[in-house]
């Protein structure tokens, strides 16, 4: 019997591009440089892409001989050594894809990467730099006057800004999905292995498998979830002609990781945000939903907790919790031509049968199961009807759709006017959010891959017995998901998600036997660490969608933010407004071109000539669908049969077709995560070891006073934190701690091959205020004395220019009021 199943590790991780006058040769190898593959790219075709993959696995000696023959064969004169016939162009770590505008094709290579997180030994990298190389030779190049402009627009999407990939872990799926397919019954794996070989027979991969006997291990991979893949269109042209090891899928969003030390026991807390590539764009230009149920600013956030002392997926303890944010799934927009900070909300189309909402919730039922819980944070009481328009329409849509669902699987709708509670002096916003969070987590449960710990029997907790989800022999499964929204899905949404995540984190720690009750309090090292992760997460998503960092943070709603924070909040509000008014249109064009929503062609209007991109994102405006979905049975067939389990995780014939199953020898490197993680064939040093450099609860949050309780679950005084005593540390220690930047897990120095820049524009999310271009220089506030001076200048300027006295404005109110009163 085979021992187990393991994720398949892509063998192509190091690339070198060689060039001759007629061809590019892309040589890819595994990290140990023992196995190689070669791609041949024709350079004589002016507009077509010809890529040849012979599917052969070469040894190092065979590759050297091949390159030597190519060098000799391409010299201008036999025996001439002065000019090599084969020259090395660039080194890289992966292929982003191929793209063509009006001339020939370009290849985009990752030339610089940085490790950002580690999940069970599977490394997650951030793209630091790329190189975009034109493929056709100059002698056959057919020039076009608009090519350079398209190239500039495409490169405005900064690929070095929050794009992530992994060679062995599927970032487009959740941890629950990835570990669920690893636990498939062996009988199914045997069937799928046979099926896979018949579909894509590769004699070099299957060679020797017949002699494995009982020492074989099944390697499992899954097709990426295209909704969260950002280079899918760039790989479409080659995905059916080259080996899957060449295909590297990248996601856009956020990834951060920190280490929680519990009396020396390392527990990694990871936050991964996947931004949808469907209906993607900037704040005011992408609102609501398109005709296919894809909503603007849709981000899936997953928090992963695992005991880092045991690395294996099969033997280790792993837990995760997923929640979603996204624009209200209706046809609505805001007209920014009026140059108002808060343009009026307009419902663009009547949708009496909630068609787009049905499509959207159908997608969620397939991916997450039931119940789908909507936490709607928009304002309910307004002097002038604005946000309430969305609430009324959303309530009507949910009420209509719930008529046809079984009551136990109905969509749960929770309206809560967060802005109203923020203004009230009698209500504590976070206490109310904590009550909502407890209710939500009890309904959805969370994922853990181990059976309940014995400590839950020794120290029973009544809340644990009320927990939802599905309990299986191998642990617990999350069923259903929380979907949070306000108008922009930025500030209010991030705070609400943090509170739900904090509640889920307590249950996760309890399930792994690390705390005695599923409760976490503020001002503990664990919550401070988690809060910092979520603020980095919120800032990043807000920059991508809204153009500035968060305006309101958790401290704002706790009412412990310093008064000087107001000036920073005002600058962020103005920054959003500037971005929305002046740079969002260019960023939207770049995103449309990068994602393949617009494809240039001869005789077709150029991207910059289009008055709107509405027709590009709404397919039903260009062609009528031949089939119309039912107004009553609005879900996909088969979804209800398996609820509350998500249809995507059910073992059925449709889902089996998405799997790649191969049989390996147990020592085969394609499934050897030990060597993949420790890299015994590479020279390394402690200073560059990722696990030592990441944010650490003991080093960065625990007070440095002697005799302090080292537990990360002990409540500290506000001034008792590791970060408050940095002034007493040496310059060297300060330098190390200053490396804690945007992603809370400060990575080691990035790995660089021959680097060349390819700029990218990333879209992030923000709340009800304006947006600032990620390409613009961020507003940098100085410390202490300088900060006070800047605050005074900002206050005086707002009073002189706008007639607004900031001392009269409550700190907890929505800062958009500052500009809306202008």
What are the tens digits of pLDDT across the range 622-631? 677 667 888 9
Percent of the chain with pLDDT over 90: 52
Lowest mean pLDDT among 44-53, 247-256, 543-552: 543-552
- Position with higher pLDDT, 303 vs 383: 303
**pLDDT band, very low/low/confident/very high, at 621 (cuts 50, 70, 90):** confident
* Cβ contact 416:482 at 8 Å: no
Peptide bond into 371 cis (omega under 30): yes
The pair phi, psi for residue 10, each rounded to 5°, is: -65, 130
Summarize the confidence of residues 38-63 as an average pLDDT. 93
* Model confidence at 71: pLDDT above 70: yes
Which pLDDT score is estimated for 723? 56
Which pLDDT score is estimated for 558? 76
Rg of the chain in Å (alpha carbons): 27
Residues paired with 132 in a beta bridge? 108
pTM of the model: 0.85
**pLDDT band, very low/low/confident/very high, at 360 (cuts 50, 70, 90):** very high
Size (the chain), residues: 822
C-alpha neighbours within 13 Å on the C-beta side of residue 447: 27
Which pLDDT score is estimated for 302? 97
Encoded tokens for 276: 């949808």
* Cβ contact 559:317 at 8 Å: no
Lowest mean pLDDT among 350-354, 410-414, 567-571: 567-571
Q: What residue segments make up the domains of the chain, in order of their start?
A: 1-171+216-249+651-677, 250-574
One-character DSSP codes across 612-652: -SHHHH-GGGTS--SS---SSS-SPTTHHHHTTS-GGGS--
Strand order in the sheet with 36-42: 51-53, 36-42, 23-29, 14-19, 87-92
The pair phi, psi for residue 271, each rounded to 5°, is: -125, 120
Lowest mean pLDDT among 69-78, 141-150, 247-256: 69-78
Q: Is the dihedral angle over the CA atoms 553, 559, 561, 563 positive or is it negative?
A: positive
* Model confidence at 67: pLDDT above 90: yes
Q: What share of the chain is helix, strand, coil (3-state, %, to 5)?
A: 35, 20, 45
One-character DSSP codes across 551-602: SS-HHHHHT-S-TTHHHHHHHHHHHHHHHHHHTHHHHHHHHHHHTTSS---T
* Model confidence at 571: pLDDT above 80: no
* Model confidence at 28: pLDDT above 80: yes
Which single residue is written with the structure tokens 């690395």?
311
* Cβ contact 45:24 at 8 Å: no
* Model confidence at 39: pLDDT above 60: yes
Q: Are strands 318-325 and 481-485 parallel, antiparallel or unpaired?
A: parallel
Which pLDDT score is estimated for 735? 37
CB atoms within 10 A of CB 90: 19
Lowest mean pLDDT among 32-46, 453-467, 515-529: 453-467
* Model confidence at 599: pLDDT above 70: yes
Which pLDDT score is estimated for 772? 33
Lowest mean pLDDT among 66-75, 704-713, 743-752, 777-786: 777-786
The pair phi, psi for residue 272, each rounded to 5°, is: -125, 125
* Cβ contact 197:206 at 8 Å: yes
- CA-to-CA distance for 60 and 542, rounded, in angstroms? 46
Q: Are strands 751-752 and 105-119 parallel, antiparallel or unpaired?
A: antiparallel
What are the pLDDT digits (tens) for 663-689? 887 778 788 887 788 778 778 777 777
**pLDDT band, very low/low/confident/very high, at 551 (cuts 50, 70, 90):** confident
Q: At what angle do helices 388-402 and 355-368 cross, to 10 degrees?
A: 70
C-alpha dihedral, 522 to 523 to 526 to 527, nearest 10°: 40
* Closest residue by Cα to residue 643 from 368, 399, 441, 412: 368
**pLDDT band, very low/low/confident/very high, at 200 (cuts 50, 70, 90):** very low
Which pLDDT score is estimated for 413? 97
- CA-to-CA distance for 345 and 497, rounded, in angstroms? 25
One-character DSSP codes across 342-383: SPPEEE-S--TT-HHHHHHHHHHHHHH-S-EEEEE-S-S--S
* Cβ contact 24:135 at 8 Å: yes
* Model confidence at 485: pLDDT above 80: yes
Residues paired with 262 in a beta bridge? 265
Which pLDDT score is estimated for 563? 55
Lowest mean pLDDT among 332-346, 552-566, 592-606: 552-566
Which pLDDT score is estimated for 802? 42
* Closest residue by Cα to residue 439 from 394, 395, 375: 375
Angle at 169 (CA atoms; ends 166, 174), nearest 5 degrees? 120
Which pLDDT score is estimated for 574? 63
* Cβ contact 325:297 at 8 Å: yes
* Model confidence at 340: pLDDT above 80: no
- CA-to-CA distance for 773 and 577, rounded, in angstroms? 10
Percent of the chain with pLDDT over 70: 78
Encoded tokens for 306: 């695992």
* Model confidence at 791: pLDDT above 60: no
Render the burial of 318-353: b for 16+ CB within 10 Å, e for the rest.
bbbbbbbbbbbbbbbbbebeeeebbbebeeeeebeb
Q: What is the mean pLDDT of the chain?
A: 81
Lowest mean pLDDT among 305-309, 567-571, 726-730: 726-730
* Model confidence at 577: pLDDT above 80: no
**pLDDT band, very low/low/confident/very high, at 401 (cuts 50, 70, 90):** very high
Peptide bond into 644 cis (omega under 30): yes
- CA-to-CA distance for 62 and 633, rounded, in angstroms? 59
Which pLDDT score is estimated for 461? 83
Q: Where are the alpha helices (DSSP H) in 213-287?
A: 232-235
Tell me 425's DSSP state. S
Tell me 717's DSSP state. P
Q: At what angle do helices 565-582 and 584-594 cross, to 10 degrees?
A: 60
Lowest mean pLDDT among 342-351, 425-434, 548-557: 548-557
Which pLDDT score is estimated for 504? 97
Which pLDDT score is estimated for 122? 93
Which pLDDT score is estimated for 752? 62
Render the burial of 226-238: b for 16+ CB within 10 Å, e for the rest.
ebbbbbbbbbebb
Summarize the confidence of residues 713-721 as an average pLDDT. 78
- CA-to-CA distance for 395 and 63, rounded, in angstroms? 63
């Amino acid at each position: 019997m085979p021992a187990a199943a393991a994720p398949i590790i892509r063998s192509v991780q190091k690339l070198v591009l060689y060039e001759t006058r007629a061809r590019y040769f892309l040589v890819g190898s595994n990290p140990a440089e023992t196995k190689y593959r070669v791609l041949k790219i024709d350079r004589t075709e002016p507009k077509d892409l010809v890529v040849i993959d012979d599917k052969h696995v070469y040894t190092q000696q065979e590759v050297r001989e091949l390159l030597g023959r190519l060098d000799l064969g391409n010299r201008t004169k036999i025996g001439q050594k002065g000019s090599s016939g084969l020259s090395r162009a660039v080194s890289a770590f992966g292929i982003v894809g191929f793209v063509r505008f009006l001339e020939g094709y370009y290849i985009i290579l990752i030339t610089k990467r940085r490790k950002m997180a580690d999940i069970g030994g599977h490394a997650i990298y951030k793209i630091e730099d790329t190189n975009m190389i034109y493929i056709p030779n100059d002698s056959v190049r057919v020039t076009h006057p608009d090519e350079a402009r398209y190239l500039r627009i495409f490169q405005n999407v900064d690929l070095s800004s929050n794009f992530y990939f992994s060679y062995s872990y599927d970032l487009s799926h959740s941890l629950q999905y990835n570990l669920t397919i690893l636990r498939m019954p062996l009988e199914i794996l045997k069937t799928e292995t046979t099926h896979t070989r018949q579909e894509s027979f590769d004699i070099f991969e299957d060679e020797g498998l017949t002699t494995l006997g009982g020492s074989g291990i099944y390697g499992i991979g899954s097709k990426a979830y295209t909704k969260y893949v950002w280079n899918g269109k760039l790989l479409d042209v080659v995905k059916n002609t080259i080996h899957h090891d060449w295909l590297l899928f990248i996601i856009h969003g956020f990834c951060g990781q920190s280490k929680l030390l519990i009396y020396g026991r390392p527990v990694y807390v990871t936050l991964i945000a996947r931004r949808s590539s469907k209906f993607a764009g900037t704040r005011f230009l992408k609102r609501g939903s398109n005709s296919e149920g894809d909503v603007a600013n849709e981000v899936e956030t997953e928090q992963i907790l695992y005991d880092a002392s045991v690395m294996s997926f099969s033997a280790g303890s792993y837990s995760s919790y997923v929640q979603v944010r996204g624009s209200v799934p209706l046809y609505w927009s805001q007209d920014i031509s009026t140059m108002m900070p808060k343009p009026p909300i307009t419902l663009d189309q009547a949708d009496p049968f909630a068609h787009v909402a049905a499509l959207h919730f159908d997608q969620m039922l397939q991916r997450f199961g039931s119940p789908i819980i909507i936490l709607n944070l928009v304002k309910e009481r307004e002097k002038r009807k604005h946000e309430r328009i969305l609430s009324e329409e959303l309530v009507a849509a949910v009420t209509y759709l719930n008529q046809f669902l079984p009551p136990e699987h109905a969509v749960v709708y929770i309206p809560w006017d967060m802005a109203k509670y923020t203004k009230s002096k009698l209500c504590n916003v976070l206490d109310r959010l904590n009550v909502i969070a407890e209710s939500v987590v009890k309904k959805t449960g969370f994922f853990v891959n181990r059976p309940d710990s014995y400590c839950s029997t020794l120290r029973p907790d009544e809340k644990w017995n009320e927990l939802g989800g599905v309990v299986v022999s191998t642990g617990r499964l999350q069923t259903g998901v929380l979907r949070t929204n306000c108008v922009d899905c930025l500030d209010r949404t991030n705070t609400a998600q943090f509170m739900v995540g904090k509640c889920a984190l307590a249950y996760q720690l309890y399930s792994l036997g690390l705390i005695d009750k599923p409760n976490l309090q503020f001002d503990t090292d664990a919550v401070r660490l988690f809060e910092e992760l979520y603020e980095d997460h919120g800032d990043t998503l807000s920059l991508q969608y809204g153009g500035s960092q968060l305006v309101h943070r958790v401290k704002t709603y706790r009412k412990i933010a310093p008064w000087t924070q107001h000036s920073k909040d005002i600058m962020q509000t103005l920054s959003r407004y500037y971005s929305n008014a002046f740079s969002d249109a260019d960023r939207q064009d770049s995103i449309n071109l990068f994602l393949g929503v617009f494809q240039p062609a001869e005789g077709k209007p150029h991207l910059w000539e289009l008055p709107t991109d509405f027709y590009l994102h709404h397919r039903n405006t260009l062609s009528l669908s031949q089939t119309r979905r039912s107004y009553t049975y609005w879900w996909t067939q088969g979804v209800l049969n398996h609820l509350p389990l998500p249809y995507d995780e059910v073992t059925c014939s449709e889902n089996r077709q998405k799997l790649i199953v191969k049989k390996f020898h147990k020592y085969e490197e394609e499934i050897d995560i030990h060597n993949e993680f420790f890299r015994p064939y590479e020279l390394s040093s402690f200073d560059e070891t990722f696990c030592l450099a990441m944010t650490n609860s003991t080093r960065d949050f625990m007070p440095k006073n002697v005799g302090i309780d080292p537990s990360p679950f002990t409540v500290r005084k506000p001034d008792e934190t590791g970060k408050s005593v940095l002034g007493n540390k040496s310059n060297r220690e300060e330098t190390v701690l200053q490396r804690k930047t945007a992603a809370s897990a400060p990575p080691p120095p990035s790995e660089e091959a021959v680097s060349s820049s390819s700029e990218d524009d990333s879209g992030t999310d923000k709340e009800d205020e304006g947006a600032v271009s990620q390409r613009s220089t961020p507003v940098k506030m100085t410390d202490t004395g300088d900060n006070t001076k800047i605050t005074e200048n900002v206050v005086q300027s707002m009073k002189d220019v706008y007639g607004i006295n900031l001392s009269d404005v409550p700190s907890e109110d929505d800062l958009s009021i500052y500009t809306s009163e202008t």
